Amino acid sequence: MQYSQDFKTAAIALCNAGKFIDSKGWVPATSGNFSARLPDGTIAITTSGKHKGHLQVEDIMLIDHDANSLDGKKSSAETGLHTTLYKRYPTIQAILHPHSINAILVSKIFGDVIVLENYELLKAMHSITTHETRITVPIFANDQDIPRLAHVVDQYLDTVNDCYGYIIAGHGLYTWGESILEALRHLEALDYLFDCELRLHGVRKP
């Protein structure tokens, strides 16, 4: 298949994001998946079973907005969680899903949501301009039935005005942004704030 320059640019950016995320220890083994929406509406996404710290351009594939492969490669079983978000939010251009230990610990301790409030670093999130802010990150039960899980997430998002990410319990975090760089910023900020909350609750020592 002949890939467009837009695809190649996005693929390189996703590979670089993978290296950064892996350097933080957030994608052990072959966990996680990343994607970027292209100007024509197609989506570049990581293929299944690849270590995200060692991604090459050939480890990125092309799908349509219904998660159908356009190049014969195999995407993650969780691809439908990406396409559901892209359909809901026309402005987001990238989605990152790592398996950080902080997100997993949060999901084991905080029940259905974790609330992040009055942190300066909340200003790293899109459109937030003050620490006097409160955001809620929902936590959903893990489910191997991805269409069903996507529907549960979508139903929740119908009830809120703003959401910067969600956690799948015992699994990992999904976050997004209007660019890969913004999604990375959201990811780094959320993971740091999760760590703050875990330490406040005595789960982790400094």
CA of residue 58 relative to chain centroid, distance: 21
Note whether residue 206 is domain-resident.
Answer: no
pLDDT above 70 for 136: yes
What pLDDT sits at residue 1?
86
> Which tokens hold the place of 101?
């230990």
3-state secondary structure of 63: strand
Per the model's pLDDT, the better-predicted residue between 188 and 203 turns out to be 188
Note whether residue 163 is domain-resident.
Answer: yes
Identify the residue whose tokens are 């269409």: 147
Q: Is 54 annotated as a binding residue?
A: no
Q: Report the distance separating Cα 104 and Cα 89, nearest Å.
A: 25
Domain range holding 166?
A: 5-200
Q: Is 201 annotated as a binding residue?
A: no
How confident is the model over 102-106, as a mean pLDDT? 97
| CATH number of the structural domain spanning residue 13 | 3.40.225.10
Note whether residue 84 is domain-resident.
Answer: yes
Note whether residue 164 is domain-resident.
Answer: yes
pTM for this entry: 0.96
**Count of the separate structural domains present in the chain:** 1
Concatenated DSSP letters for 101-164? HHHHHHHHHSTTEEEEES-GGGGGSTT---SS-EEEEEEE---S-HHHHHHHHHHHHTT-S---
The predicted-structure confidence for 137-183, as pLDDT tens digits, reads as follows 999 999 999 999 999 999 999 999 999 999 999 999 999 999 999 99
